[in-house]
Amino acid sequence: MSTTDKRAFGSDTFTLKPSPEVFERVRSFLNEQLRHHAIDCESIYLNTINNIVDQVLTFSQNLLGLGMDTLEWGTVQSHNDWETGVFSKPSTFQDSHRMHQFAIEYIEQLMRDLLDEAKYKWMV
């Protein structure tokens, strides 16, 4: 059994360090999951504000970056949908750029699916 196999199947902690191969696998997996939406993972952004009153943007990341972080940290982040939204552009919280077809729960489930895929099917 390889080191990756032991990490994936031998414990509850699983992480994958960024590499070109992991990057391409994440991109491929996410784009396949999004195919029926006719959009790619680099065109979907999770944008976060400090609070719902001030709405100062504090973080912006595309879905591919979130997927890479998910594998590197070995966990799926939970997001508060009052302060984090799914958008078609980075660094905005304007409703005109909000992607209403993608709920935060959908994105979190997509990250759980990615983590499971990497844990149990990839031989990196």
Please give the pLDDT value at position 123.
Answer: 66
Distance (Å, rounded) from C-alpha 29 to C-alpha 68?
12
Task: Show the beta-strand stretches assigned E in 1-124.
Answer: 45-49, 57-62, 84-87
Distance (Å, rounded) from C-alpha 22 to C-alpha 83?
29
Distance (Å, rounded) from C-alpha 99 to C-alpha 41?
13
Please give the pLDDT value at position 48.
Answer: 97
Please give the pLDDT value at position 10.
Answer: 39
Mean pLDDT, contiguous 10-residue spans, the chain (124 residues): 40 81 97 96 97 93 98 94 96 96 97 96 74
Please give the pLDDT value at position 4.
Answer: 43
Please give the pLDDT value at position 30.
Answer: 98
Distance (Å, rounded) from C-alpha 22 to C-alpha 15?
11
Domain boundaries, the chain: 3-10+18-121
